[in-house]
Amino acid sequence: MSARWHAHEGVRTWVALSPALLLVGVLFGGAVVMALLRSIGLLGIGEGGPSLAAYRQLVTDPGFARSLGLTLYVAVVSTSLSVVLGIGAALLLRRLGAGRRFATTMFQLNLPVPHVIGAVAILALVGQSGLLSRLGAQTGLLDEPAAFPAITFDPWAIAVILQYLWKEVPFIGIVALAILAAGGDDLEEAARTLGASAWQRLRHVTLPLLLPGVLSAAVIVFAFTFGTFEVPLLLGPSAPTVLPVLAHRRYTDVDLAARPEAMAISVVITVVVVLVVLLGAAGARRAIRGDAAVTEAGG
């Protein structure tokens, strides 16, 4: 192979990649740069030069700290519960004999449904005057709406987490099913003949097999639950609220000085998410690309 061919090969590679990188780079990169610049007071209304006033303001503002805490709590709880319940659901569905294909299709029916709709539906279900509360009233268990536990707009953001579970448990479940479908049964059988009990098979075969793929899917879930705006706005608590809602609230604040602060919050959201991504980066890419590690086992 002449060197020229290799060079040619390399060039062709980067030419093929350029449209995607250009589009994502210019648009997304431009947006992030804009947000960064405005968070230090440039391009915005402030005449003064770049200043970290907005960030200093955030650090001193207890409201910000509480919001950050709440957002982390919501994202971590939603993600970990989604992983546990998702894997549980996958293991359950896998043991279904007849009707497994139908059940799995129904299981992921709400995946394409946008979150906004999920929020409206969950509010209508678990709000204090929602369907469940009304059933309580009809059966005499509850005498007034306030008797129903307040899990919407509540400090623990339970309705928000419920909505995320409603969408993300099927997502993790499907990823787990995909990984196990590519050789999970065979390895468990091999383990059985090697004397592994049901519990040992789960701990030493099924879970290790699922780990890389599910971990990367979990990163995606964390990034979403940490950064989304519509669901906590419709279902979540108002004080403290999650960072995205806080960022929006500061953003539309009458006081113009709040705008760099809003940008700073957006930057913080971005930084936290990118950090988590770097943590699970390898797994995330593999999960999305679908060639989970287990395929080598089949070879």
Q: Which residues ranging from 115 to 134 are in contact with another protein (CB under 8 A)?
A: 115-118, 120-122, 124-125, 127-131, 133-134
Least distance CB 95 / another protein (angstroms) = 5
Q: Residue 56: helix, strand or coil by DSSP?
A: helix
Contact map string, positions 8 to 27, toward another protein, x by CB under 8 A: --x--x-xxx-xxx-xxx-x
- DSSP conformation class of 17: H
Contact 70, 245 (CB under 8 A): no
Asked if 226 touches another protein (CB under 8 A), the answer is yes
As a whole number of angstroms, the distance between CA 66 and CA 27 comes to: 32
Asked if 181 touches another protein (CB under 8 A), the answer is yes
Least distance CB 80 / another protein (angstroms) = 16
As a whole number of angstroms, the distance between CA 229 and CA 242 comes to: 8
Q: How far is CA 52 from CA 39, 40, 48, 261, in A?
A: 8, 6, 11, 10
Asked if 279 touches another protein (CB under 8 A), the answer is no
- Judged by CB under 8 A, the residue of 7, 11, 84, 256 near another protein is 256
Least distance CB 84 / another protein (angstroms) = 14
Structure tokens at 209: 């097999």
CA dihedral 23, 25, 31, 37 (to 10 degrees): -150
Asked if 3 touches another protein (CB under 8 A), the answer is no
Selection from 284, 177, 270, 272 nearest residue 221 by Cα: 284
Least distance CB 291 / another protein (angstroms) = 5
Q: Which of residues 48-107 bind another protein (CB under 8 A)?
A: 61-63, 89, 92-99, 101-107
- Judged by CB under 8 A, the residue of 41, 86, 227, 283 near another protein is 227
